[in-house]
Amino acid sequence: MSLTGAGPLFRKEILRFWKVAFQTVAAPVLTAVLYLLIFGHVLEDRVQVFPGVNYTAFLIPGLVMMSVLQNAFANTSSSLVQSKITGNLVFLLVTPLSHWAWFAAYVGASVVRGLTVGLGVMLVTVWFAPPQLAEPWWIVVFAALGAGMLGSLGLIAGLWAEKFDQMAAFQNFIIMPMTFLSGVFYSVHSLPPFWQAVSHLNPFFYMIDGFRRGFFGASDVSPWLSLAIVATSFLVVAAVALGLLERGYKIRS
């Protein structure tokens, strides 16, 4: 496993999204705040999931984690597709970078972007409901694993897609439905039995449920079960991404 050269590529990916931070960081934060204002206003007095926790406070961790996941995915996928379309991917292909270095740089940068956006959402929403932070170690663990998994999934999407339309289809038909059906805006216990069973097949549910556990000390399932499922999902997705990079899937031809 050689990570030689991963540092410069990692810095390049960080600078790539940071130079347009208004689009890549500020815009997702604004989107999350709009979700909070709309859903919080409509459901504040009608929904209470955990005893003593109002709906706005319940909603904020879900919005933070949703922002982390979506932006981690967007960073790797958009970077690779953009490099393919503009033709500058060839400059990386002529370097002696290993597939491990590619993975570490791209996924590492996606984790940084996801966590940056998530932190921004949390800071802005403090005014609406101060965070409780009952078990903060779960917040760190699930945020890092979730961002890493979605960064790896974005890497797979970026390798597969040859144009922005294909990447948008991947995001709209896979990432968005799995995110919105994961319990961001509700507890899965409020769903009919069939949809509860479907939700428990969604790894995004365990990311958000475990992340929310860190705030309130309560969750729909055991955080250890969530950790096992999320960690396993991350390892599987990372292994697939590394395998595609090693083969040079759709980037060496």
Q: For residue range 116-140, what is the model confidence (pLDDT) as tens digits?
A: 999 999 999 988 888 888 999 999 9
Cβ atoms of residues 179 and 204 within 8 Å: yes
Cβ atoms of residues 206 and 134 within 8 Å: no
Cα(211)–Cα(227) distance, rounded to whole angstroms?
A: 10
**4-16: string of b/e by CB count within 10 Å (b at 16+)?**
ebbeebbeebbeb
Which comes out higher in pLDDT, residue 167 or 189? Answer: 167
Cβ atoms of residues 212 and 219 within 8 Å: yes
Neighbours of 19 (CB within 10 A): 10
* pLDDT score, position 46: 65
For range 187-203, the mean pLDDT = 85
pLDDT at residue 59 tops 80? yes
Cβ atoms of residues 104 and 5 within 8 Å: no
Place of tokens 């922005």: 164
Place of tokens 């496993």: 1
Average pLDDT over the chain, rounded to whole? 90
Residue 47 pLDDT grade (very low, low, confident, very high; cuts 50, 70, 90): low
pLDDT at residue 5 tops 90? no
For range 131-152, the mean pLDDT = 94
For range 188-206, the mean pLDDT = 87
Residue 146 pLDDT grade (very low, low, confident, very high; cuts 50, 70, 90): very high
* pLDDT score, position 4: 80
The pTM of this model reads: 0.92
pLDDT at residue 144 tops 90? yes
CA angle at 67 for the pair 64 and 68, rounded to the nearest 5°:
85
Torsion of Cα atoms, 230 then 231 then 234 then 236, to 10°: -110
Maximum distance among all alpha carbons in the chain? Answer: 59
Residue 253 pLDDT grade (very low, low, confident, very high; cuts 50, 70, 90): low
Cα(205)–Cα(208) distance, rounded to whole angstroms?
A: 5
* pLDDT score, position 45: 67
pLDDT at residue 150 tops 90? yes
| Domain boundaries along the sequence of the chain | 6-247
* pLDDT score, position 157: 95
* pLDDT score, position 140: 96
Cα(180)–Cα(187) distance, rounded to whole angstroms?
A: 12
